[in-house]
Amino acid sequence: MDERILLHMKSISKSFPGVKALKGVDLEVKKGEVHALMGENGAGKSTLIKVLTGVHIEDEGEIYFEDKQIFTNTTLQAQKCGISTIYQELDLIPELSICENIFLGREIMKKGIIDWKATQKRAKEILDDMGIDVEVTSILSSQSTAIQQMVSIARAISINARLVVMDEPTSSLDDKEVRVLFEVIKKLKAQNISVIFISHRLDEIFEICDAITILKDGERVGYSLIKDITKLELVSKMIGKDASQIISRKKSYNKDKMSNENIIVTKNIVRDPKVKGIDIEVKKGEVLGLAGLLGSGRTELARLIFGADLPQGGELYINGKKEKFNLPKDAIKKGMGFCPEDRKIEGIIPNMSVKENITLAILPRLTKMGIVSRKEQEKIVNKFIQALKIKTPHMNQAVKNLSGGNQQKVILARWMCMNPELLILDEPTRGIDVGAKKEILDLIEQLASDNISVLMISSEIEELMHACDRIAVIRDGKKVGELYAEEIGEEAIMNSIAEGHQSFA
Amino acid sequence: MEATKKMTTSTNQTIDWKLFFNKYATPVLLVILISFNVVFTPNFANINTMWNILIQMTTILLTALGMTLVIASGGIDISVGSVMAISSIISAKSLGLGVLPAILVGLLVAAVCGLFIGLIIAKFKIQPIIVTLPMMIGIRGIAQVTNDSQLLNFDSPAYSFIGTYKFAGNIPVQVLIMIIAVAVVYFISNKMAFGRYVQAMGDNYRASRLTGINTFLVIIGIYVISSALAGFAGIIETARLSAADANAIGKLMELDAIAAVAVGGTPMTGGRPNVIGTVFGVLIIQIITVAVNMNNIPYTYSLVVKAIVIILALWARRNK
Amino acid sequence: MNIVELAVRKVKAFDFKKFFKDEGALITFIILFLFATFKYEQFFTVLNFKNVLRQVSMLGFVAIGMTFVILIGGIDLSVGSTLAVAGVVAAKVCSYGVAVSIIIPILIGIVFGLINGILVTKLKIVPFIATLATMLAIRGIAYIATGELSVGANSASESFIQLGRGFVFGIPIPAILFILAIIVAILISKKTRFGRHVYAVGGNEDASRMMGLKVDAIKMAVYALSGALSAFAGVILASRLGAGQPVAGDGWELTAIAATVIGGTLIVGGVGKFSGTFFGVLIIGLIQNMFNMQGNLNVWWQNILMGAILLGVVVAQSQTGKVSKA
């Protein structure tokens, strides 16, 4: 490896309305280095990458590439500088051939028409060099994700990229395919091409990367060579205690209060590739936490229970009765509610009012002959605006104009007014400021004391420790540990996430 | 503190102007259009002209009301003109059964068309425009086959009543029909759970599904309502003319209806159905047609004017 | 070379299922052709073939343009109106010679197409609504320019009249031009940068932009091309009828969309081929021809059948999972 610096991003800051996504972040990548970029949801890594690749423009800071200052204001400019990105959602044209995808926009021409023979030959050469044997004339979408990713990398090589950014390249690959990808990454290194590698799988980071930058809450909280850091150190830096908000451990586990009644039981539930057979029970009136890194399968598990996605196998019992997995509306009838991870895409109805958003799920109970009772509706809405302290000028305000925390409360209110038996909360405090976070955690406690079960997913360990009676740890689509309240400790959870120990289950 | 305060007020002002424009562009346009015609079009400010406009706009209004729900849900229905035709000809053909049964049969046929369209859209999850295009061609074909594409004249004063009766010798029955239709669709959109679901699905389909809305049934309901209203429009037109012509009736109606909804301010990508806006939109479209006619300008100029109005209306709202 | 081999999906030597899916239009055409041959005596005659070919060739030009537009993920409803204006203009200027009466209408078609392109790319109005508006406006222009009357091409030169009515080696000239146009379109779609970029934009617009394709320029060019081809169809129609009619091309946008979709082009863009459109056009011509020969069946059955076929094709396409909306 070359000791010279290829990329230096200097104190990059970027704000979005209401959020400071990056607060003076530095990133240094050496030539021929595989550099891991880690951090939980909302830590700022995708914003940093988007600044680098020209999707966003930084508010402050400078980017140096091969010792020259560069300005990547569009993705094209970044590409011309030699920075290519392999996205999670592959940015290729699925219905065109492999060789065409590699050369699109830079077709090899002969006498004004495309020289397909030369194109195919060049494409074959590049892929051969990578060690990938595939028919270059086949349609991209007919090939596996792994091959498609290789094509993406081949395209980067063909435009002489000096730096390839790989955004969670392994998230949809199987073990075998990951091996091939790593071989290709090694070949890139041999050609002195640098790689920024984003992944949530620790083993992979430790296998393939040379150095690591860790982000948390828009700041760089760690930089190290891989050989100088342990997995536990890494996990604690990523999700470790934030000095600014120490939340004390909640009540102790109360076995008397806890009934043995299971609201939800899943048995060996499967949906490829993220959920590989998980057994879980949620007891009446308990808060069960799902811990695990992003991409571990925790969100996918929650969606399967709610019927948002259909599983490929396994059994689901609700209140002891075996149920078929159906649509969300069936889960709601059985007394479930679901606050999704991405509020904007799956939660709020942006142009509808606070009132309409809160009452959307409960409408069938508020209507007579299909007509919505205005009085009852406003009674409920007023009650929940007060109970949850939703800050809105009035109930007819469009919900898109509220802050993230208040939007989240609106969605919570939507389910709470249904008197549910089980609420599934996926990252309920994501993108919410500290004060509102506390309020939402208090609400969760309130729910449990009202004998409502909660299944809560969070990337923040303190949060889980604060709120949960029990925590199940998910790793690579499997449950690798379960901790009861008295065992819940930061280190135990992080150990479980990092190593998958089952000793304390 | 002082500075922040100042800033907020000033931004509020600019937003207010924008809001004003977004919100009231259609009524303002209508007022301008009417004032212009009162001054320049001979006999425009005349009670008979008004009745004429009202009679002529009935069919567009009925179809546009249904289209408002369809577009609010994020869809589009270009088969409404053909549904008018099939409802018209089948209703006229069933006059032998009696007047009321004939009307009901016409409505039923239209509703069945809507049921079929909705089923295909909901079941196969195909873009509505692609489903309603073949329906538009096919349903018109069936309408034409029904009476060998011949004009079907009939003499039934009772049937013609719903197209020609005038209250107090002056006020056309259509006015009452329109008021009821607008009230009903307004009520559905704003007071009923169904209206909420339509809007929610148009605004954020995925979130709607996760909130437990039965999207399958709502989609079917939307297209049944749209088709039934179109069918009703066809029946009224048939009653007014005392004749059913499957070739002509409802031709290009889908365009006028879509234009009226677009001008009226219902977002073309789905969202809150603006029923009152649609009424204004229909008035604008109809006044353009009538004014062009009264000024002895060939009807065809109105096509150009309509096109410009549609583009302007969408352009004015594009940054919303 | 590798420690592990990736599972590569090889292309089978001959995949019957794939062939059936890809060549659906051709197969449907053959079936219809055989059916017509056995059913109708007058069908398998040179005269009939000549007539059918001449009939469909004008629709063919419009359908080629429509295929380009649908491939980039758009739609163009203004084609019929453009055709009418072009025909009227061709009839009005035909005394200046055949070149003028072809070039000027085509230029006008390009201008209309560019207007569509601007509405779609710059004003960001959805193609359906944008071209709906221009469809109305351009039809209005056709009526206004003619006072709603047909314009006779009385002073037309012989070569102008031959354009629509003549034969070369016994084949109608419009048919020859249509076949040439299809060949050129196939070449463009397979061999040129522009052609491939059309597929890329329709396949994934955002990715195309990221890859540095000039998406807006490509869209403008495609709408202009659609305008030009519709205009050319209008010129030939005027030549054949010896008059430019302001009502010409009414409803052709739907028939052209139908021919394109029957030909296997996915309505959401990105996938399709011009040989498919060729057979799509022939299928429509064949259906019309069969209805004519049937005689005892009302011609309106044709529309019912057309609607049913189109609906069937669209539903079948949706089963491949590419036409879904959400």
Of C197, C204, C210, the CB nearest to A75: C210
Residue whose structure tokens are 């299944």? A455
- Give the C-alpha separation, B162 to B173, whole Å: 7
- Provide the H-helix boundaries in C40-126: 46-71, 79-93, 98-121
The mean-pLDDT minimum among A61-70, A139-148, A386-395, A496-505 falls in A496-505
3-class state of residue A477 by DSSP:
coil
- Give the C-alpha separation, C39 to C50, whole Å: 19
pLDDT average, residue stretch C257-264? 89
Is the CB of residue C124 less than 8 Å from the CB of residue C146? no
Percent of chain C at pLDDT > 70 equals: 90
Do the chains contact at C140 and B142, CB–CB below 8 Å?
Answer: no
Neighbours, chain A (3 or more CB pairs < 8 A): B, C
Question: Is the predicted pLDDT of residue C287 greater than 70, yes or no?
Answer: yes
Is the CB of residue B216 less than 8 Å from the CB of residue A326? no
> What's the confidence (pLDDT) of residue C313?
78
Question: Is the predicted pLDDT of residue A502 greater than 60, yes or no?
Answer: no
Do the chains contact at A91 and C206, CB–CB below 8 Å?
Answer: yes
In chain C, which residues have their Cβ closer than 8 Å to the Cβ of B281?
Answer: none
Percent of chain B at pLDDT > 90 equals: 47
The closest of B148, B83, B128 to B109, measured between CA atoms, is: B83
Question: Is the predicted pLDDT of residue B320 greater than 50, yes or no?
Answer: no
Do the chains contact at A372 and B200, CB–CB below 8 Å?
Answer: no
> What's the confidence (pLDDT) of residue C323?
43
> What's the confidence (pLDDT) of residue B9?
38
Do the chains contact at B210 and A306, CB–CB below 8 Å?
Answer: yes
CATH code for the structural domain at A261-335+422-438+449-505: 3.40.50.300
In chain B, which residues have their Cβ closer than 8 Å to the Cβ of C128?
Answer: 76, 129
| Per-residue pLDDT reduced to its tens digit, C181-190 | 999 999 999 9
Of A92, A116, A135, the CB nearest to C207: A92
> What's the confidence (pLDDT) of residue B18?
62
Percent of chain A at pLDDT > 90 equals: 26
On whether residue B260 sits in a domain, the answer given is yes
pLDDT average, residue stretch A140-167? 88
pLDDT-based confidence at residue C171 (cuts at 50, 70, 90): confident
For residue A371, the distance in angstroms to the closest alpha carbon of chain B comes to 4
For residue A251, the distance in angstroms to the closest alpha carbon of chain C comes to 44
CATH of the domain at B60: 1.10.3470
Q: Does A147 touch chain C (CB under 8 A)?
A: yes
| Per-residue pLDDT reduced to its tens digit, B220-246 | 999 999 999 999 999 999 999 999 998
> What's the confidence (pLDDT) of residue B80?
96
Backbone angles phi, psi at A216, to 5 degrees: -150, 130
Of all residues in chain A, the one with the smallest CA distance to B215 is A329
The mean-pLDDT minimum among A32-36, A75-79, A429-433, C33-37 falls in A429-433
The mean-pLDDT minimum among B50-59, B105-114, B164-173 falls in B164-173
> What's the confidence (pLDDT) of residue A243?
36
Is the CB of residue A97 less than 8 Å from the CB of residue A137? yes
Percent of chain B at pLDDT > 70 equals: 92
* Count of pairs with CB atoms under 8 A, one residue in A, one in B: 75
- Give the C-alpha separation, C188 to C214, whole Å: 17
Looking at residue C51, its amino acid is N
For residue A451, the distance in angstroms to the closest alpha carbon of chain C comes to 37
Is the CB of residue C233 less than 8 Å from the CB of residue C90? no
Is the CB of residue A141 less than 8 Å from the CB of residue C207? no
The reply to whether A5-239 and A261-335+422-438+449-505 are identical in fold is: yes
Radius of gyration of chain A (CA): 25
Chain A contact probe: residue of B11, B22, B188, B211 with most A CBs at under 10 A: B211
pLDDT average, residue stretch C80-93? 93
For residue B124, the distance in angstroms to the closest alpha carbon of chain C comes to 7
pLDDT-based confidence at residue B290 (cuts at 50, 70, 90): confident
Chain A contact probe: residue of C6, C205, C271 with most A CBs at under 10 A: C6
| Per-residue pLDDT reduced to its tens digit, A305-353 | 998 888 888 888 988 888 887 789 989 988 999 999 888 888 999 999 9
Question: Is the predicted pLDDT of residue A120 greater than 70, yes or no?
Answer: yes
Interface residues of C toward A, Cβ cutoff 8 Å, are 1-11, 187, 191-193, 196-197, 199-200, 203-204, 206-213, 270-271
Pair of tokens at residue B240:
């007014």
* Count of pairs with CB atoms under 8 A, one residue in A, one in C: 90
Q: Does A73 touch chain C (CB under 8 A)?
A: no
In chain B, which residues have their Cβ closer than 8 Å to the Cβ of C268?
Answer: 127
Contacts (Cβ under 8 Å, ≥6 apart) of B90: B105, B106, B109, B143, B146
> What's the confidence (pLDDT) of residue A165?
93
- Give the C-alpha separation, C200 to B153, whole Å: 54
The closest of A64, A128, A58, A55 to A98, measured between CA atoms, is: A128
On whether residue B2 sits in a domain, the answer given is no
Of C10, C187, C207, the CB nearest to A91: C207
Is the CB of residue B87 less than 8 Å from the CB of residue B146? no
Average pLDDT, chain A: 84
| Per-residue pLDDT reduced to its tens digit, A72-98 | 888 888 888 899 988 766 688 988 999
On whether residue B125 sits in a domain, the answer given is yes
pLDDT average, residue stretch A474-494? 77
- Give the C-alpha separation, B109 to B260, whole Å: 25
Give the residue extent of every domain in chain A.
5-239, 261-335+422-438+449-505
Question: Is the predicted pLDDT of residue B253 greater than 50, yes or no?
Answer: yes
Do the chains contact at A308 and B210, CB–CB below 8 Å?
Answer: yes
Is the CB of residue A213 less than 8 Å from the CB of residue A36? yes
The mean-pLDDT minimum among A242-246, B96-100, B260-264, C225-229 falls in A242-246
Asked if the bond preceding A393 is cis, omega within 30° of 0, the reply is no
Residues comprising chain A, all counted: 505
List Cα–Cα distances, B134 to A502, B71, B160, in angstroms.
60, 19, 32
- Give the C-alpha separation, C5 to A177, whole Å: 8
Of all residues in chain B, the one with the smallest CA distance to C137 is B304
For residue C261, the distance in angstroms to the closest alpha carbon of chain B comes to 10
> What's the confidence (pLDDT) of residue C10?
60
> What's the confidence (pLDDT) of residue B199?
95
On whether residue B25 sits in a domain, the answer given is no
Of A75, A91, A179, the CB nearest to C4: A179
Q: What is the DSSP string of A371-396?
A: EE-HHHHHHHHHHHHHHTT---SSTT
Of all residues in chain A, the one with the smallest CA distance to C9 is A143
Output the CA angle A252-A258-A261, nearest 5 degrees. Answer: 155
> What's the confidence (pLDDT) of residue B10?
39
3-class state of residue A188 by DSSP:
helix
Helix (H), strand (E) counts: chain C = 14, 4
| Per-residue pLDDT reduced to its tens digit, A352-392 | 999 999 999 999 888 888 888 888 999 999 999 998 888 88
* Count of pairs with CB atoms under 8 A, one residue in B, one in C: 141
Q: Does B200 touch chain A (CB under 8 A)?
A: yes
Is the CB of residue B74 less than 8 Å from the CB of residue B269? yes
On whether residue B22 sits in a domain, the answer given is no
- Give the C-alpha separation, C74 to C198, whole Å: 11
Of B196, B203, B206, the CB nearest to A351: B203
| Per-residue pLDDT reduced to its tens digit, B154-205 | 888 888 888 888 887 788 889 999 999 999 999 999 999 999 999 999 999 9
3-class state of residue C155 by DSSP:
coil
* ipTM of the complex in this document: 0.81
Neighbours of B172 (CB within 10 A): 19
> What's the confidence (pLDDT) of residue A257?
56
Question: Is the predicted pLDDT of residue B294 greater than 60, yes or no?
Answer: yes
As for how many domains chain B has, the answer is: 1
In chain C, which residues have their Cβ closer than 8 Å to the Cβ of A107?
Answer: 193, 196
Domain A5-239 has CATH 1.10.150.120: no
On whether residue B274 sits in a domain, the answer given is yes
Neighbours of C37 (CB within 10 A): 11
pLDDT-based confidence at residue C165 (cuts at 50, 70, 90): confident
Backbone angles phi, psi at A223, to 5 degrees: -140, 135
> What's the confidence (pLDDT) of residue A393?
87
- Full residue range of the structural domain in which residue B177 is found: 37-316
Do the chains contact at C323 and B126, CB–CB below 8 Å?
Answer: yes
In chain A, which residues have their Cβ closer than 8 Å to the Cβ of B200?
Answer: 349, 352, 356, 360
pLDDT average, residue stretch A414-425? 92
Average pLDDT, chain B: 86
- Provide the H-helix boundaries in C122-172: 127-146, 158-165
Do the chains contact at C203 and A107, CB–CB below 8 Å?
Answer: no
For residue A317, the distance in angstroms to the closest alpha carbon of chain B comes to 20
- Give the C-alpha separation, C233 to C239, whole Å: 10
Of all residues in chain A, the one with the smallest CA distance to C270 is A95
Of A105, A114, A138, the CB nearest to C192: A114
Is the CB of residue A48 less than 8 Å from the CB of residue A37? yes
Do the chains contact at A352 and B203, CB–CB below 8 Å?
Answer: yes
Chain B contact probe: residue of C112, C116, C314, C320 with most B CBs at under 10 A: C314
Q: Indicate the pTM of the whole model.
A: 0.80
Do the chains contact at A104 and C200, CB–CB below 8 Å?
Answer: yes
Domains of chain C: 57-294+301-313 (1.10.3470)
Of A328, A349, A372, the CB nearest to B192: A372
Of B135, B206, B303, the CB nearest to C136: B303
Side-chain-side CA neighbours of residue A94 (13 Å): 14
- Give the C-alpha separation, B160 to B242, whole Å: 6
Do the chains contact at C137 and B144, CB–CB below 8 Å?
Answer: no
Neighbours, chain B (3 or more CB pairs < 8 A): A, C
> What's the confidence (pLDDT) of residue C278?
95
Looking at residue B50, its amino acid is M
| Per-residue pLDDT reduced to its tens digit, A183-220 | 999 999 999 999 999 887 788 889 999 999 998 888 89
Looking at residue A369, its amino acid is M
In chain C, which residues have their Cβ closer than 8 Å to the Cβ of A172?
Answer: none
Chain C contact probe: residue of A79, A95, A153 with most C CBs at under 10 A: A95
- Give the C-alpha separation, A41 to A47, whole Å: 11
In chain B, which residues have their Cβ closer than 8 Å to the Cβ of A350?
Answer: 203-204
List Cα–Cα distances, C166 to A474, B300, C160, C169, C281, in angstroms.
76, 34, 10, 10, 21
Spell out a b/e string for A345-364, using b for 16 or more CB atoms within 10 Å of the CB, else e.
ebbbbbbbbbbbbbbbbbbe
